[in-house]
Structure 1
Amino acid sequence: MIVYVRRIAMTKDENMNSDMHSMNMDMSSMDHGQMDDEMDMGGGHMMHMGNFKQKFWLSLIVAIPIFILSPFMGIQLPFQFTFTGSDWLVLILASFLFFYGGQPFLSGAKGELQEKSPAMMTLISMGISVAYIYSLYAFIANHFINPNGHVMDFFWELASLIVIMLLGHWIEMNAVMNAGNAMEKMAALLPGMVHVVDADGHTKDVALHDLTEGQTVLVQAGEKIPADGDVVKGSSSVNESLVTGEAKAITKENGDQVIGGSVNGNGTISVKVTGTGENGYLAQVMKLVSEAQQEQSKAEGIADKVSKALFYAALSVGIVAFFVWLAISGPTTALERMVTVLVIACPHALGVAIPLVVARSTSIAATNGLLIRDRHAIETAKRVDTVLMDKTGTLTEGVFKVNEVQAVQNGLSDQQVLQIFASLETGSSHPLATGILTAAKEQDVKLSDAQSVQTVQGVGLNGEVDGTAYSIVTADYLEKQQLEFDRAKFEALAAQGNSVSYLISDQKVLGLIAQGDQIKPEAKAFIAALNGMNIQPVMLTGDNEPAAKQVASQLGNITVKANLKPEDKEKIVRQYQDDGHQVMMVGDGINDAPSLARANIGVAIGAGTDVAIDSADVILVKSNPKDILNFLNLARATNRKMNQNLWWGAGYNIIAIPLAAGVLAGIGIILSPAVGALIMSLSTIIVAINAMTLKMRAPTGNVGV
């Protein structure tokens, strides 16, 4: 099994629900552009953010004249000048900038306030709104109410805040949004048009959303199967790997079930539809992914928590300052003090504190084979205490080798048993089948043509070789059918880490083949490193329990969950979470998409299905477990930098806000807007330099290095 990579941070939650309730619509017709415009900008909800890159560059062009023509917190800088009517130009440009460049933040603040959870968007919106409205008041006062007086405006601060915030959010999105959308990839597995066979046997093409249960569809060679159903005519091999994650071509004939989204092979089959819309397998997977993603999207980042605290602090201090100064010096001074507090509280440094670290972190990660799709995974990683992972492909090589072939019936040799096994497995790409065919080739076994081969889900397969019907089955099947076999032999082989398959005919066991997978050289050190980090490793496998425990005994201290079906994984993730654990899930295939999305962090190793990759937070390009440790170590280092930058970005407010409010005015200390802006600029420079010093520490121990 090859393994892959939040949850999708950039998915439209609202559309997911409606999509699931209208699944009879053509799922391939989802509006890609509409989805791309929905960005998760913190605060735990999705909102329309638009194109930050475009907004940033246009806003920067508009802001430059404002920087040149408008004073900086009341101070005329050396490069600035004015001319007759320049203040009107500044007003027009600032108004455009407020409504155009500030629109994403105003929209974001509306969403946060609707959810009663003010955070970064609300704090920014408060700052730019106060700066713009007060500056508008200052302009009117200076031109129409009292032309001889001078009320200080904040147009310069308005422009700088909007430009810096747009830059910060563009940097952050550019660092993490280089992949597609899992829901779109799932929808793309289904064709837009299908060939429906009418009662007279004629076919006509209809849109997928018009397909109903009970209809018969014709699926030609190489086409995608449009819906779940039963084969009623023809035979073909069907590749279900994109749907189930199992890499095998399965022969389908009359009466066999097929899954919508799988790919037909060389034959042509007629399928009677049994499941469309919400009833289909793919739709159920999409529903689980959607539910898990919506639950995960409620997570609140540390920057949002700090912003929320700053919002309440600045608003409270500003209001108190207004009334205090109103009693001391009158409305003009009171209003100026309140506005100064609210503008100084604007998170210039805080707005780039996290994005700059994320950009640096994702850049380092990419050069080390880690693709981080969701920055929340970095923040969550420090709390992970459980890692669930597939055995095959993650901890083992995924290459099965035949360790023993044994005939148990007189009249058959070991080589004949191998010959029948290999004949039945011809055409399959399943790892177990590949191991059998490799062994047959090495021994120059001449294969026979197998007829009527079909897969029996959860059991094995049936077929005919030289006119005799055979089945390949598991030990569990033999026990359920109460067929006699050497139980002690099975336990001995399983205890050695083998997967054991049996050949039967006419309800009699004819022989067996035992195959083993090899532990990856770095796997044992990887498990030891996880335990050293106080993280519980859990191995998930569909193998029998003795074989799974034998592998575990080679790995060291690891919990084993054996005899699992694909759908069991999401339940196990949920169980661990319900017990209070923070879970990282490593999985592959569409069947793993729900568990990847459900986990606190979903991880994909190597090249897997696009859906699995898009359902996870982190993609590990290589298949080396060391990269999981690299991610955890990088995440911890990144979190340290985030915390440092948050203190630099927000810490100055702890001092600046009270001083701006005038708490020390009695002893002659009061923070002027100009000094406050200078400190603000300095903190922005510090967080930028600090972010650039982030490095990735190599994992301790020799883990595949």
Structure 2
Amino acid sequence: MTAITHTSGTNKLLKQIFPVDGMTCASCAVSVESMLRNTPGVAKADVNFAASSVTVEYDNHKTNPDLLKKTVQSIGYDILITEKASEEQAEQQELKYEQLKKRTIWAGIFTFPVFVIGMFFMHWQPGNWIMMVLTGIVLFVFGKQFFINAYKQAKIGAANMDTLVALSSGVAYIFSAINTLFPHLLHRIGQHTPVYYESAAVVVTFILVGRLLEERSKSKTSSAIKKLMGLQAKTVTIDDNGTEREISIDDVHPDQIIIVKPGEKIPVDGTLISGSSFINESTITGESLPVAKTIDDKVFAGTINQQGSFKFKAEKVGKETLLGQIIRHVEETMGSKAPVQKLVDKISGIFVPIVMLIAITSFAAWMFFGQKDPWYHAITALVAVLAIACPCALGLATPTALMVGVGKGAENGILVKDAESLEIARKVNAIVLDKTGTITRGMPEVTDFIWLKKDAEQYASFVLSLEQRSEHPLGKSIVEYLKAKDVSSIDPDDIENISGKGLKGLFNDKTVLAGNKALLDQFSIAITAEVLNQAQQLQQQAKTVSYIAVDKEVVALVAIADQIKEGSKAAISELQALGVDVYMLTGDNMETAQAVAKQTGIQHVKAGLLPTDKAAFVKQLQSEGKIVAMSGDGINDSPALAQADLSIAMGKGADIAMDVAKITLISSDLRQIPKALHLSTFTVRTIRQNLFWAFIYNLVGIPLAAGLFYPIFGWQLDPMFAGAAMALSSVSVVTNSLRLQRKRI
């Protein structure tokens, strides 16, 4: 069970994912969803049939998990609400799978003689009695769950897939039993006495086989989340005042010192305090090369220590670790719904009643208008229609493809927040990239610190004090440079952060400015031609220039360079090859921006922008009819990320950027963006294929089963084949979704 508290309007809503037990088809999912949505205090409920889970947003002042559980239980299902609900569900599913496997095997053993007698010894008189007994065992022992679930649904005035199976096999069996026990009833009206034992037994057996294959396939679609959970260590070795002690992962808390030996999984997030090693982080970043780690470097839960022992201080544990957050996001995304699924849910909700109406209409039509053996054709049509109809294929079409797609993304370091964003990504035709931290490494270094006056260095402590209060990466690089020069800071009398421009501080009646040219323009500070020329020369070398001014006079220039990330140029080239227009937006000056653009092949550049300017530019592109993706890593990018159709955050960026973004690239590598677009294309294509075949299957299968083509071509589907077709329809949809796992993105 996953829980996240968030604010919606003025009310605090709790968002939780609960495993659901007892669902057998898409109609079941619609019933559970409908009941929860109508529960007081519930704002939203989305059931994922493929994952057997429901995501509920509710006001915990008006309802609670126990009440939600009772609501679901009232219609014959159940939700698990314990802290280890996911583990319990996995155990229950494994147990049910084994029980289903046994029932299916025994049903097959008892069905085989029924099939042989019904097909090859139909005129053998004792055969009907043998088939009646064996079929009764198949239906009411091994297939009893169909009838139990159908009864539970009937009690609340609902119907689902089990209703169709119970009706089709039950009607066939009862009609056959009456003809076996009282053959003279049809003889009196000149009709022969057909029996459908083999049809009833084979329908139930085939559907059990289909359920077995479906459960096995569905477990594979959620393999990604199981793999992620499997990355979590079970025990941890801690340094307890110089003594090594092994404890459970559940007992770890922040600030504990943890010891990691070669080959071990890192249990929680933290910072190295002694030792060094190479860490395989491919499990969370998708990058295969091991990463060198030394003192003060971060390590993450789920990654593997390849060589060397080290100690680190725990900082984030449990669900707060990066791995925990990835698992939570993947679970949430798998529980979300693509827009196309809403239409499918509506169809699934009315599917079973419509099928029952078609079956009854077919029976009546054959009884009234059938000229030869009307009873035979009427019963055949009734049973075949009920047996072949399958809302499960429709219900599984979208979520199974989505689960596989999201899982594949997670395995490649692409974290998708919801289904809608995965559906939108393939439509993107314009992408806006922030420069610092997105195209570049985001770790700028001071390359030149030019004091313009002999006595200007006395202001170094003022500059350090200002930049220490800056959240901008450029400010941090200046702080590191000055500290390395043994400069000490002093407390300012006053300080002001001027968004997108820089900082203003007051020190002993001296006004100090540190920032870009726009900051100096705002305070009407003149810049000499000589200083401007120096700044331009630095900017032409792809360096960002920061100006230092004291009391209306420019006293220093600071040049900062940020290296372009490995892979940025290749990613931009691939995006352009896909027909996506690439734009670079930056708050930096135009000279530096153009130098970076030239090195990476970007043709569209906007420089000197404030955060609101970036958002306005995204809006402008949207007004031109473009589907815009925005990728950034900083707080200043959050307005543009929120405005974009698809927001992509760098995993190593600011938390607020990741909160706003719909897709997060764990490795912060731009080459993951084309992969995300390919993933979207493959996933949506698979969803469409699944929906096409699910609809076609029912559009062709139901009329064929009803005998619509019999007067023209002499075609009427045998109930046995109808049952087999129904069983295979769901399996084919899930199998098609699993093909996504083999796609190379």
- The equivalent of 1:300 in structure 2 is 340
Q: Is 1:482 equivalent to 2:534 in the alignment?
A: no
Residue identity opposite 1:94 in structure 2: F
Q: Secondary structure at the match of 1:399?
A: coil
Deviation at 1:396, TM superposition (A): 0.7
Q: After superposition, what is the alpha-carbon deviation per residue over 1:18-43, rounded to whole angstroms, capped at 9, x for unaligned?
A: x43435xxx5xx53547888445499
User: Where in structure 2 are the equivalents of 1:214-229 lying within 5 Å?
Assistant: none
- The equivalent of 1:539 in structure 2 is 584
Q: Secondary structure at the match of 2:673?
A: helix
Deviation at 1:436, TM superposition (A): 1.6
Q: Secondary structure at the match of 2:582?
A: strand
Q: 1:693 to 1:66 in 2, by over 3 A?
A: closer
1:472 aligned residue (505, 514, 535): 514
- The equivalent of 1:421 in structure 2 is 463
**Are the counterparts in 1 of residues 138 and 204 from structure 2 also a CA contact under 8 Å?**
no
1:412 aligned residue (430, 455, 464): 455
Q: Is 1:93 equivalent to 2:136 in the alignment?
A: no
Q: Secondary structure at the match of 1:528?
A: helix
**Aligned residue pair count:** 544
In the superposition, the TM-score normalised over structure 1's length comes to 0.61
Give me the whole-angstrom Cα distance separating, in 2, the residues matched to 1:598 and 1:164: 44
Give me the whole-angstrom Cα distance separating, in 2, the residues matched to 1:575 and 1:334: 64
- The equivalent of 2:677 in structure 1 is 632
**Are the counterparts in 2 of residues 171 and 355 from structure 1 also a CA contact under 8 Å?**
no
2:490 aligned residue (431, 440, 449): 449
User: Where in structure 2 are the equivalents of 1:129-140 lying within 5 Å?
Assistant: 129-133=163-167
Structure with more contact order per residue of length (Cα contacts < 8 Å, sep ≥ 6):
1
Give me the whole-angstrom Cα distance separating, in 1, the residues matched to 2:342 and 2:220: 18
**Are the counterparts in 2 of residues 349 and 649 from structure 1 also a CA contact under 8 Å?**
yes
- The equivalent of 2:32 in structure 1 is none
Residue identity opposite 2:717 in structure 1: L
Decide which moves more: 458-467 or 627-636: 458-467
**Are the counterparts in 2 of residues 399 and 431 from structure 1 also a CA contact under 8 Å?**
yes
**Are the counterparts in 2 of residues 462 and 471 from structure 1 also a CA contact under 8 Å?**
yes
Q: Secondary structure at the match of 2:8?
A: helix
Give me the whole-angstrom Cα distance separating, in 1, the residues matched to 2:568 and 2:447: 22
Residue identity opposite 2:426 in structure 1: K
Deviation at 1:672, TM superposition (A): 1.1
Residue identity opposite 1:461 in structure 2: L
Q: 1:453 to 1:402 in 2, by over 3 A?
A: farther
Give me the whole-angstrom Cα distance separating, in 1, the residues matched to 2:585 and 2:477: 22
Q: Secondary structure at the match of 1:537?
A: strand
Q: After superposition, what is the alpha-carbon deviation per residue over 1:487-527, rounded to whole angstroms, capped at 9, x for unaligned?
A: 74456655654433322333333333232322224222221
Residue identity opposite 2:455 in structure 1: L
Q: Is 1:381 equivalent to 2:425 in the alignment?
A: yes
Q: Is 1:31 equivalent to 2:14 in the alignment?
A: yes
- The equivalent of 2:722 in structure 1 is 676
Q: Secondary structure at the match of 1:518?
A: coil
Residue identity opposite 2:560 in structure 1: Q
Give the CA RMSD over aligned residues.
Answer: 5.2
Deviation at 1:356, TM superposition (A): 5.3
Unaligned runs of 5+ in 1: 1-9, 111-124, 181-292, 700-705
2:481 aligned residue (439, 443, 449): 439
- The equivalent of 2:593 in structure 1 is 548
Give me the whole-angstrom Cα distance separating, in 1, the residues matched to 2:209 and 2:641: 40
Q: Secondary structure at the match of 1:341?
A: helix
**Are the counterparts in 1 of residues 345 and 395 from structure 2 also a CA contact under 8 Å?**
no
Give me the whole-angstrom Cα distance separating, in 2, the residues matched to 1:567 and 1:328: 73
Give me the whole-angstrom Cα distance separating, in 2, the residues matched to 1:33 and 1:159: 32
Q: Is 1:557 equivalent to 2:602 in the alignment?
A: yes
Residue identity opposite 2:441 in structure 1: E
Give me the whole-angstrom Cα distance separating, in 1, the residues matched to 2:368 and 2:739: 49
- The equivalent of 1:223 in structure 2 is none
User: Where in structure 2 are the equivalents of 1:63-142 lying within 5 Å?
Assistant: 63=100, 67=104, 76=114, 82=134, 93-98=145-150, 127-133=161-167
Q: Secondary structure at the match of 1:394?
A: helix
Q: After superposition, what is the alpha-carbon deviation per residue over 1:209-245, rounded to whole angstroms, capped at 9, x for unaligned?
A: xxxxxxxxxxxxxxxxxxxxxxxxxxxxxxxxxxxxx
Give me the whole-angstrom Cα distance separating, in 1, the residues matched to 2:549 and 2:524: 13
Q: After superposition, what is the alpha-carbon deviation per residue over 1:52-96, rounded to whole angstroms, capped at 9, x for unaligned?
A: 946755765775676467689997469x98498885556863344
Q: 1:368 to 1:485 in 2, by over 3 A?
A: same
1:392 aligned residue (427, 432, 436): 436
Decide which moves more: 375-384 or 564-573: 564-573
- The equivalent of 2:8 in structure 1 is 20
**Are the counterparts in 2 of residues 128 and 162 from structure 1 also a CA contact under 8 Å?**
no
- The equivalent of 2:384 in structure 1 is 340
Q: After superposition, what is the alpha-carbon deviation per residue over 1:252-279, rounded to whole angstroms, capped at 9, x for unaligned?
A: xxxxxxxxxxxxxxxxxxxxxxxxxxxx
1:328 aligned residue (361, 369, 372): 369
Give me the whole-angstrom Cα distance separating, in 1, the residues matched to 2:164 and 2:696: 22
User: Where in structure 2 are the equivalents of 1:42-61 lying within 5 Å?
Assistant: 50=79, 53=89, 56=93, 60=97
Unaligned runs of 5+ in 2: 21-44, 57-71, 73-77, 81-85, 117-130, 184-194, 230-332
**Are the counterparts in 2 of residues 528 and 556 from structure 1 also a CA contact under 8 Å?**
yes
Q: 1:36 to 1:481 in 2, by over 3 A?
A: farther
**Are the counterparts in 2 of residues 483 and 507 from structure 1 also a CA contact under 8 Å?**
yes
- The equivalent of 2:625 in structure 1 is 580
In the superposition, the TM-score normalised over structure 2's length comes to 0.58
Question: Identity over the aligned pairs, expressed in percent?
Answer: 26
User: Where in structure 2 are the equivalents of 1:162-201 lying within 5 Å?
Assistant: 172=221, 175=224
User: Where in structure 2 are the equivalents of 1:237-386 lying within 5 Å?
Assistant: 299-301=339-341, 304=344, 321=362, 324-329=365-370, 333-334=377-378, 337-338=381-382, 340-347=384-391, 357-358=401-402, 360-386=404-430
Deviation at 1:178, TM superposition (A): 10
Give me the whole-angstrom Cα distance separating, in 1, the residues matched to 2:471 and 2:445: 14
Q: Secondary structure at the match of 2:514?
A: strand
**Are the counterparts in 1 of residues 505 and 513 from structure 2 also a CA contact under 8 Å?**
yes
**Are the counterparts in 1 of residues 18 and 79 from structure 2 also a CA contact under 8 Å?**
no
Deviation at 1:539, TM superposition (A): 2.4
**Are the counterparts in 2 of residues 176 and 362 from structure 1 also a CA contact under 8 Å?**
no
Q: After superposition, what is the alpha-carbon deviation per residue over 1:564-592, rounded to whole angstroms, capped at 9, x for unaligned?
A: 44456555555544543333332346776
Deviation at 1:660, TM superposition (A): 1.6
Give me the whole-angstrom Cα distance separating, in 1, the residues matched to 2:517 and 2:151: 69
Deviation at 1:395, TM superposition (A): 0.4
Q: Secondary structure at the match of 2:625?
A: coil
Q: 1:345 to 1:557 in 2, by over 3 A?
A: farther
**Are the counterparts in 2 of residues 463 and 470 from structure 1 also a CA contact under 8 Å?**
yes
- The equivalent of 1:240 in structure 2 is none
Give me the whole-angstrom Cα distance separating, in 2, the residues matched to 1:595 and 1:97: 51
Q: Secondary structure at the match of 2:340?
A: coil
2:550 aligned residue (505, 524, 537): 505
Q: Secondary structure at the match of 1:300?
A: helix
**Are the counterparts in 2 of residues 62 and 97 from structure 1 also a CA contact under 8 Å?**
no
**Are the counterparts in 1 of residues 218 and 400 from structure 2 also a CA contact under 8 Å?**
no
Give me the whole-angstrom Cα distance separating, in 1, the residues matched to 2:733 and 2:390: 15
Q: 1:604 to 1:411 in 2, by over 3 A?
A: closer
**Are the counterparts in 1 of residues 210 and 728 from structure 2 also a CA contact under 8 Å?**
no
Q: 1:36 to 1:517 in 2, by over 3 A?
A: farther
Give me the whole-angstrom Cα distance separating, in 1, the residues matched to 2:616 and 2:220: 36
Q: 1:661 to 1:56 in 2, by over 3 A?
A: farther
Residue identity opposite 1:421 in structure 2: V
Q: Secondary structure at the match of 1:514?
A: strand
Give me the whole-angstrom Cα distance separating, in 2, the residues matched to 1:324 and 1:388: 62
Q: Secondary structure at the match of 1:93?
A: helix
Give me the whole-angstrom Cα distance separating, in 1, the residues matched to 2:364 and 2:628: 50
Residue identity opposite 1:627 in structure 2: Q
**Are the counterparts in 2 of residues 404 and 513 from structure 1 also a CA contact under 8 Å?**
yes
Give me the whole-angstrom Cα distance separating, in 2, the residues matched to 1:571 and 1:308: 42
- The equivalent of 2:707 in structure 1 is 662
